[in-house]
Structure 1
């Protein structure tokens, strides 16, 4: 008589750190967002999962988005392309430790003065000009010519900065130590959360830092922009997942694929 043994593997769910960009990543499909919100909030209540938004938006534009879309209240908010971290978005009090780190070697006035010599750079609205971020609009057609010259000019003046160009128009000049990915590393250490228990989600060039700063699990949504797709193809990792679905649906797909949700 042949005896068959059935082995059932129990899936143990634990808390994880969920970090996502907002525009065109979390936000873009309201029905999918509602479903993702329900699953994430349940996981937060059951296991203590932490939810963080990492956005290029300023706090003012983040508040505007919350009035337009149904977003869960985050455990922390990373704004202005990673240059600001807030643990209580309602009060808009920024983490002083993170600010002190970014302030080292940062000379905002000098950055603005040098950029003023480039007529192709158009300043973004005043709300998007932040203490550790200078932001411009730059046409994609001339970006490949302007960006190397601008970077060279900044280096010649001894300014230790980074240029982040995304969406074919948005240029952000930040302190070298500031971006979304480094902000995530800061939060991981603060909350003692392992990279294997952290997942980041994005769609554009200013999200590349989310995927490249460490070994966090990563989800690229199906509607990712060309600059992120190109980076992914050149830097494939087995812990990064490129979803077929778009927006929040793509995030859900990735969370299931990577084992964060069942």
Structure 2
């Protein structure tokens, strides 16, 4: 294994980007510095592949791998693909049981699935701007037509607490799930998360677990943060994260609007 090269995996929304989609100058500068120093700087996000790659381009990084869909899809560099990347590892599941269970306990919920092609198929009206890439509206019954990398459920009429209570009542056991922002549920293949995907990437690179740095701010980052900390690396949590996310990491950064990520990255030697 290498002795000094770092694997630096960054969440996007709330960590790199603000709510308006802007990247702080200080974050750009630190990422440029670390790439120039030879560290592997990559993205690990809940976004679909289609919504992830444009952020990579904006950052000006060319990592060997990109983790999207909360770990269910890992892209690898591919010169033959117009985007420069194609799917290397894809984890899918049959969403039928989860769809039926949740539809039975959640009133007025909206459902979407992400396929292996990175396209969302959705039923019901979602918040404006939810799907930055192409989304296709289909009848509810067609959501389970093929295996998917992710099932998304949004219930805007409920609080997080009410939402979680209903989700627990659904009896979901065969899939992994995490709650994102208000009443938003991401359901992934069983045992699949950002941490499991990044462990595969780490092994591919031959980087020591102690040379891992991850940063995130959401509940879908918990497993990634725990994974990094357990290996002796840095699980960096943005200061504005929920308490349960803060508890999962071992390094607490400043909040987004005080350049929390950039200051944490600045501690990595070039």
**TM tier, shorter chain?**
0.7 to 0.9
User: Greater CA radius of gyration, 1 or 2?
Assistant: 1
* Secondary structure class of the residue paired with 1:85: strand
Does residue 93 (structure 1) correspond to residue 101 (structure 2)? The answer is no
3-state SS of paired residue (1:193): coil
The equivalent of 2:263 in structure 1 is 253
- TM-score normalised over the length of structure 2: 0.72
| Aligned counterparts of 2:77 and 2:107: Cα–Cα separation in 1 | 38
Q: Is the 8 A contact 1:164 1:173 kept in 2?
A: yes
Verify the 8 A CA contact 1:58 1:79 in the aligned structure 2.
yes
Q: Give the root-mean-square deviation of aligned CA atoms.
A: 2.8
- Which residue of 19, 29, 44 corresponds with 2:9? 19
List runs of 5+ in structure 2 lacking aligned partners.
122-146
Where 1:112 maps in the other structure, the secondary structure is helix
Compared CA separation, residues 246 and 92, structure 1 to 2 (3 A) = same
* Structure 2: distance between partners of 1:184 and 1:194: 12
Aligned residue for 1:135? Answer: 152
Q: Equivalent residue for 2:197?
A: 183
Q: How does 1:94-109 map to 2 (within 5 A)?
A: 94-96=87-89, 99=90, 102-103=91-92, 106-109=93-96
Structure 1 residues 249, 52: closer, same or farther in 2, change over 3 A? same
What is aligned with 1:38?
A: 32
Shift of 1:78: 0.6
Of the candidates 199, 211, 216, which is equivalent to residue 225 of structure 2?
211
Task: List alignment gaps of at least 5 residues for structure 1.
Answer: 1-12
Deviations 1:152-189 (A, max 9, x none): 4344xxx5112210122421011222111111122122
Name the structure with the higher helix share: 1
User: Normalized against structure 1, the TM-score is what?
Assistant: 0.74
How many equivalent residue pairs? 227
